A and B are shown apart, each in its own frame.
Chain A
Amino acid sequence: MHGDSVSDGMEAARALADLVEISPQIEAAIVFGDDEEPLGAVGVSDWWATAVARAGKALLAGAGQFRSEGGPVTQLHASLGDGDVFVVGQARSRAIVAVTAPGQPAGLVFYDLKRCLASLAARELQPDPAPEAKHARRRWGRKRGGDRA
């Protein structure tokens, strides 16, 4: 279980690194699960990432309480004086919070955040390499190292 969370964290860190690379307008982003615990963060320290994840989950849950029809909230965008906050996901599943400078194109940011979540889900669906394959790769690497030596 601990190994799973470490693996999730590594996958989230990679997905977030890709996100800020293709979306330089994103200042910070945090992926969190249904337990409010951040799986990965970029642009913010771990301590603040936990606070952001809790606020993001509260935003999703709170926004859903104002309307009964239309299904659950899937994304929201808060325009504030000194920055914009985006949340994509659902209150009872994995979600992502991002902060940008004011006035960024919301559609583009939403698209990139959804793509980040989708890439994270796709990475999890990829099976781990079989133990035999791992050993074979390692032996192959040693052989190359031996050739050099």
Chain B
Amino acid sequence: MRDGAGAGSGEAIVRRFVAFTGTVTGAAAVVVALRGLLGGRREQLDVYFADGSFVTFVDGSAEAERLLPLARQVLAAVHQTPSEWPIGE
């Protein structure tokens, strides 16, 4: 009787642990998915050359830091947000 109760208690602990781990993993997966869908879009610049080659400058690189403000100026002008103009001239 006592042995059976001990086995049941151990099983309950394992179940709780599995449920807790599953919940944490699921929550992390949801957060990652939402970041990817909503706010995870990284700013970058793709430059194409006459020979067909191209290079990507990701946000944070020296090239992107110089060129992306110009692209932001274009967006600001089209969206007519003068407070963003001019940037980094």
Real binding pair: yes
With a cutoff of 8 Å between Cβ atoms, the chain A residues found around residue B11 in the complex are: none
Smallest beta-carbon distance B63→chain A, Å: 5
Smallest beta-carbon distance B65→chain A, Å: 11
Q: Which residue of A lies closest to B64 (CB)?
A: A78
User: What is the bound-complex CA distance between A66 and B79, given in angstroms?
Assistant: 29
User: What is the bound-complex CA distance between A53 and B72, given in angstroms?
Assistant: 13
Number of interface residues of B (CB under 8 A): 29
Contact, CB under 8 Å: B70 / A59: yes
Main secondary structure on A side of the interface with B: mixed
Task: Check: A39 CB closer than 8 A to any chain B CB.
Answer: no
Smallest beta-carbon distance A69→chain B, Å: 8
Task: Check: A63 CB closer than 8 A to any chain B CB.
Answer: yes
Number of interface residues of A (CB under 8 A): 36
Smallest beta-carbon distance B19→chain A, Å: 37
Contact, CB under 8 Å: A55 / B43: no
User: What is the bound-complex CA distance between A83 and B74, given in angstroms?
Assistant: 10
Interface residues of A (CB under 8 A from B): 27-28, 43-45, 48, 51-52, 55-56, 58-59, 62-63, 66-67, 70-83, 85, 97, 99, 102-103, 106
